[in-house]
Each structure stands twice: as structure tokens, then as C-alpha cells.
Amino acid sequence: MTTPTAVALEDAKVAFRLGDGRVYTAVEKAHLSVAQGEFVAIVGPTGCGKSTLLNVAAGLLKPAAGSVKIFDQPLAGLNRDAGYLFQADALFPWKTALDNVAIGLEIQGAPRAEALPRAQKWLTSVGLGAFANRYPHMLSGGQRKRVALAQVLIRDPKILLMDEPFGPLDAQTRQVMGNLLLDLWNADRKAVLFVTHDLEEAIALADRVVIMSAGPSSRIIGDWRVTLPRPRDIFEVRLDKEFHALHREIWSVLKDEVMKGYAQSTQAVEAV
């Protein structure tokens, strides 16, 4: 018996045309699949095209070659099964926290009277029940991420795509957010594709850690299974022996790529 595949990238290649007419290949022949209920983290050095790969899975970018399948169906246009959590602030600044969360339901046609109580419930479950009437600029970075998480989850997407969602936050807030994410994820185990440059975060959260080589033309160069027991607590899991062994093993591969990545990023054109 096999679990259905939520996201499958088959030999996906992503290329951009640069301003001067040259073609920049960001990702070469990426082969990656995420099973239903699986939490996969993509880790790679800066500029390796991991966000690019995520955008391909979201349908925001079209691969130059290869194919993208969502639940075995070829992806055309935007990925309607996916919720996307962005690295930068993506909340609507002119809507209150409550309206920002409710909008996900309203655009599906839910009446406002029905959307608002559900949005309030989601705000409460991300710990912001008392902040419903605040506008994004009145919230801290971590609080905005919580609202964004609620905004995505209220639509109950089958797949969660996350692009370094906790990147801009400070170290403690990241861990708190990581635990919150795991708690929410544990409730219904969506397929998750989580991009990060933080290897520790990746191991602590994911079932599988995928490593990409330094760009340009980066490839997937490693795929580790994380067998740490669930439910996990991010603060605790970092003290685990298995965690350290895995971290050492993956880091030995990742380190070279990070060095290459830095060397290249000082000369190559950054294409994001």
C-alpha cells in the first residue's frame, strides 16, 4: 500500500531570462516528492533556488522543463490545493487581523457572518484571540506570522508550502513558532514543503530533510529521513542524541555547498 503523493516534481528545471538576454538556470532536474501527511524540509545555501522550487510547486512559476504533479494531476496554473506562507509580510495591511484571516473564507464565497466567527476561532488557536481588531502594523513580527498562519490554515489546504516563514523572526520566537506549527500540523497532518536555510530547524520539524547544492543549476544532492519520535518539542528535540548524529551527518554534506554558495554569491548574479 502506498500513500498518495501530494507533490511530485519530476526533473523540474527552472530558468530565467536575464536582462542581458542570457539564460540563468536556477534549478536543474529537481526530483522531489512529498507524500500525503509528510513534512519535508528543503535546506540549501543562500541563492540555491529552494524558494524557486517552492514557487514551482505553488504554480507561481512554470518549470522550463519537467513536470509538476499535484495528487497525480499535472499542475496547470496556480496550485489550488496549496496554502502558501511567505517569508516577507504578506498580510493585507488595510485589513484587521480578523479580516485578514476571514478573507480566505470570504473569497471562497462564505458569508461574512459565517466567516468571522471561524476566523476568530483560528486567531485564538494561534494565540491571538485578543488581537482581532489590530491592524498588521500594530502587531509584532511574530504575531504577524501567526496571523499569516491562521490566514492560510483557515482554508484547510491539503498542502502547505512555506518559504522560510520564520526567517525574519528572532531565535526564540522562531522556536515558539516552530512548536505552534507542529501542534497545528499534528491535528490533521497536511503535506508540508518547508524551505529554510536553518538545518537545525529543518531536522527538528521535518520527516525528511532534502539538501540542495549551491546555485546556479543547483540540484538535490541528499535526502535524509528523520526518525525522531512525534509529537516533538523543538526545545527538547535539539538535545536528543539522534538529532546530533543526523545534524553532523547532513552538515558534512551541506558545509561544502554553503562554502561554494558564498564563494559564488560574491561573483554570480543573484536571480531570485
Partner 1 sequence: MSRVTLLALQVLVAVVCLVLWQFFASVPVFGKILLPPFFFSNPVDVFSQIVKWFSSGVIWKHLGITLTESILAFVIGSAGGVLIGFWFARQPLVAAVFDPYVKMANALPRVVLAPIFALWLGLGIWSKVALGVTLVFFIVFFNVYQGVKEVSRTVLDNGRMLGMSERQLMRHVYWPSALSWMFSSLHTSVGFAVVGAVVGEYLGSAAGLGYLIQQAEGIFDVAGVFAGMFVLSAFVILIDFGVTLVERRLLVWRPTVDGRG
Enumerate binding residues for partner 1 (CB under 8 A). Answer: 58, 60, 78-80, 82-84, 86, 88-96, 103-104, 107-108, 133-138, 151-152, 155
Nearest-approach distance from CB 18 to partner 1, in angstroms: 19
Give the 3-state DSSP-derived string for the chain, with helices as H, strands as E and coil as C. CCCCEEEEEEEEEEEEECCCCCEEEEEEEEEEEEECCCEEEEECCCCCCHHHHHHHHHCCCCCCEEEEEECCEECCCCCCCEEEECCCCCCCCCCCHHHHHHHHHHCCCCCHHHHHHHHHHHHHHCCCHHHCCCCHHHCCHHHHHHHHHHHHHCCCCCEEEEECCCCCCCHHHHHHHHHHHHHHHHHHCCEEEEEECCHHHHHHHCCEEEEECCCCCECEEEEEECCCCCCCCHHHHCCCHHHHHHHHHHHHHHHHHHHHHHHHHCCCCCCC
Measured CA to CA, the distance from residue 197 to residue 167 in angstroms comes to 9
Residue with Cβ nearer partner 1 (194 or 224): 194
Residue with Cβ nearer partner 1 (23 or 94): 94
Nearest-approach distance from CB 192 to partner 1, in angstroms: 15
Nearest-approach distance from CB 107 to partner 1, in angstroms: 5
Nearest-approach distance from CB 165 to partner 1, in angstroms: 12
Residue with Cβ nearer partner 1 (45 or 104): 104
Residue with Cβ nearer partner 1 (158 or 208): 158
Nearest-approach distance from CB 95 to partner 1, in angstroms: 7
Nearest-approach distance from CB 268 to partner 1, in angstroms: 23
Residue with Cβ nearer partner 1 (136 or 261): 136
Residue with Cβ nearer partner 1 (82 or 214): 82
